[in-house]
Chains A and B, each alone.
Chain A
Amino acid sequence: MRLAFVLSEIGSGLRRNVSMVVSVILVTFVSLTFVGAAGMLQLQINQMKGYWYDKVQVAIFLCSDGSTAAGCATGPVTPEQQENLQTLLESPAVAQYVNDFQYESKEEAYKHFKDQFSNSPIVDSVTPDQLPSSFRINMKDPEKYQIISETFSSQPGVETVIDQRQLLERLFSAMNAASLVAVSIAGVMIVCAILLIATTIRLSAFSRRRETGIMRLVGASKMVIQLPFILEGVIAAVIGAALASGTLWAVAHFFLGEYLSKQYPDTAFISPGQTLILAPALLILGGSLAGISSLLTLRRYLKV
C-alpha cells in the first residue's frame, strides 16, 4: 500500500464534498466543546475543593495576627490555648462526633493555599504569617456541625468555626447540574455528529463508486479501498476536536484567567494549561467516534 496514494485519495475525497466535511467539523466541534465544558466544570470543582474538602467537613481557624473575632482578644493563639483545644477535641464529649482531626500549621496552610491558588495573582501577596493555623475535623455525621460550632466558637484562641460543605455544597451542586446539562447536550450533539459522519461517508462512497468499483476489480485490498473513507471522517472529526480544545483553552485563558479571576480574586480558578489535559481525550473521542461510524457505514454501503 502506498501512503502517497492513500493520502491523495483522502485529499480528493475531502475536496469533493467540502460542505459536508465542514459540517462534520462544526458538529464535532460543538458537541466536543460541550463535552469539554462538562470536563472543565468538574476540573473547576476539584480546584475549588482545595486540599481539605474531601477529607474534612469542619475547620476551626485559630487566631492569628490581626484577628478581630471576640475570642482573639488576647492576640494570636498561644500554645496553651492550642493545647486546650486539642484536649477538648479529644475529650469524650466531642470525640463521639469526630472521626479524626488534623492540625494545620501556618506553613502547611500556606503550602495548600499556594497549590489551590497557583493560577491566581493573589498567591504572590500572601505570606505564611497571614494565614491562620487550624484544626480540620472529619465528622462522623456532617449534620452535627452545630455541636462543634457551639463548643468551639467561644473558646479562647478560636477565630471562627466554618462548615466548608455548607459554603460550597450549593455552588458545587449548581456546577454539577450545569455539567450534567452540558453532557446531555453533548450526547445529543454526538448522536448528530455520528449520523452526519455516516451520511457524509455514504455520499463520499457514492460519489466515488466508480473508483471503488475499479479498485475492487483489479484486486485492491479492503484496507486500501476503505481507509481513505475512514480517514476522511476521522480527519474531519479530529479537526473539530482540535477546535473544541482550542475553544476551551480560550475560555480558560480569557474568561476565567483575565476576567473572572479579577472579579473574584479569592476564588481558585483552573489554569488554561489544565484544560489541555482535556484535549487528548477530546481528540481521541472525536477520532474514534468518526472511525467507528464510518466503518459501520462502509460495511453497509461499500461492498468489497
Chain B
Amino acid sequence: MPVRRLQIWAVSAVPCRVIRAMIRFENVTKVYDQTARPALDDVSLEIDRGEFAFLVGASGSGKSTFLRLVLKEDRASSGAVYVAGQNVAKISSWRVPRLRRGIGVVFQDFRLLPQKSVFANVAFAMQVIGKSRSVIRDTVPEVLKTVGLEGKENRLPHELSGGEQQRVAIARAVVNRPGILLADEPTGNLDPTTSMGIMGVLDKINQNGTTVVMATHDDDIVNEMRKRVVELKNGIVIRDEARALYTSMIPVVGQSRRLRDASGRDEAQPPAPGERSPGAGEEQR
C-alpha cells in the first residue's frame, strides 16, 4: 500500500502537520473481544484544527469507539492516537484530566444534574477544575448566551425542553474553552426542527475555532450542513469526503474489493457480538 507509507513518511518529515491535526489516528485498531471482529480496524484519519466533521455509520460501526479513544477512555489495541499533537498512549494517568479539559463532550442523553439549575450545571464544570467564583460568574452567562439560553439560568433541567437541555449540555462542554468538541449523537433524542437549532449552536462554536466531531445517524442534518463526512462501517473508514452528504454520491466502481464488500452490504445489519452499542461502554456502575 504505497499511499499509506507515503503518508507516514510525510508525518515524520514534517512535524508541524501533526500539530495542525487536532485529532490524528494512525493505523488504529481497537479490539474489545479477541473472538469478535475489531471495533476499529486499522483506521488512519486526521481532523484538522477548526474543522467540523461528521462521523456516520450504523450502530456498531465504531463511532463511539472512535470518540472513546480520543478521550482516552479506552486504549487502542494497536496504532497511535494523537490529540493536539500528543500521543494519548504516552499521557500518564494523572495527566489524563488535563487532556480531557481540552475536550468537551456532548451526549444523546444530555447527562445534566437534575437537582442543579442551568447555571449550576454549567458552573459545575468550572468548579471541579478549580475556577474561581468570579471567573465562573463572568463566564457562565456568556456561554449560556452563546447557546441561546439567556434568562433561563435558574431553571431546573426538568423545566426545560429537550432541545434546551441539550443546549445546557453544550454550554457545559464548551465553558472551559476546549479545543475539541465531541458530540455523540447530540440530536438523537430531538425532533428535526430542534435538531437544526442545536446544529446552529454547534456551528457557531465551530466558527469560534473549536474543532467539532459529531457522531450521528441523522441524515437530514448531515445533508443540510454539507460538512466533512467520515463514514465508518464495521470499524473501517469506507468514505471520507469534504462537503458531503449522508450517503455517498461517489459510485462504487473503482474502489478496492474490501471497501466494496463493506459498503455493499445492507445498512440495517445487526452489530456483531462483542461490539458495543453507542454509550454502552460509558460508566454505568
Contacts and interface: CB of A to CB of B under 8 A. Distances in A.
Interface of A: 1-2, 5, 206, 209-222, 224-225, 301, 303
B113 A218 contact: no
A218 B172 contact: yes
Interface stretch (B93-101, B198-206, B253-261): B93-101
Contacts of A216: 97, 100, 283
A303 B128 contact: no
Contacts of A303: 283, 285
B113 A219 contact: no
A218 B282 contact: no
B285 A301 contact: yes
Given A209-B283, A212-B283, 15 more contacts: A2-B132, A210-B113, A213-B111, A216-B97, A217-B100, A218-B100, A218-B124, A218-B125, A218-B172, A219-B98, A219-B99, A219-B129, A220-B97, A224-B130, A303-B283
8 contacts: A5-B128, A211-B113, A216-B100, A218-B100, A219-B100, A222-B94, A224-B128, A224-B129
Interface in B88-122: 94, 97-105, 111, 113
A213 B283 contact: yes
Contacts of B283: 209, 212-213, 216, 303
A301 B283 CA distance: 10
Contact of B113 (A214, A220, A224): A214
Q: Which of B98, B125, B128, B129 gathers most chain A CB within 10 Å?
A: B128
B187 to A, nearest CB: 19
Nearest to B101: A219
B127 interface: yes
Interface of B: 71, 94, 97-105, 111, 113, 124-125, 127-130, 132-133, 172-173, 176, 282-285
A210 B127 contact: no
Contacts of B127: 2, 5
A213 B103 CA distance: 14
Given A209-B285, A219-B100, A219-B101, A1 B130 contact: yes
A208 to B, nearest CB: 10
A198 to B, nearest CB: 15
A219 B285 CA distance: 19
Report, nearest first, the 8 A-B pairs whose CB atoms are least far apart: A219-B101, A219-B100, A220-B128, A218-B125, A219-B97, A215-B128, A5-B127, A221-B97
A1 B132 CA distance: 9
Contacts of A5: 127-128
A142 to B, nearest CB: 61
A2 B136 CA distance: 12
Contacts of B176: 218-219
A210 B100 contact: no
Nearest to B175: A218
B124 A214 contact: yes
Contacts of A218: 100-101, 104, 124-125, 128-129, 172-173, 176
Contacts of A220: 97, 128-129
A256 to B, nearest CB: 50
Given A5-B128, A206-B285, A220-B129, A214 B99 contact: no
A214 B111 contact: yes
A221 to B, nearest CB: 5
Contact of B111 (A210, A221, A224): A210
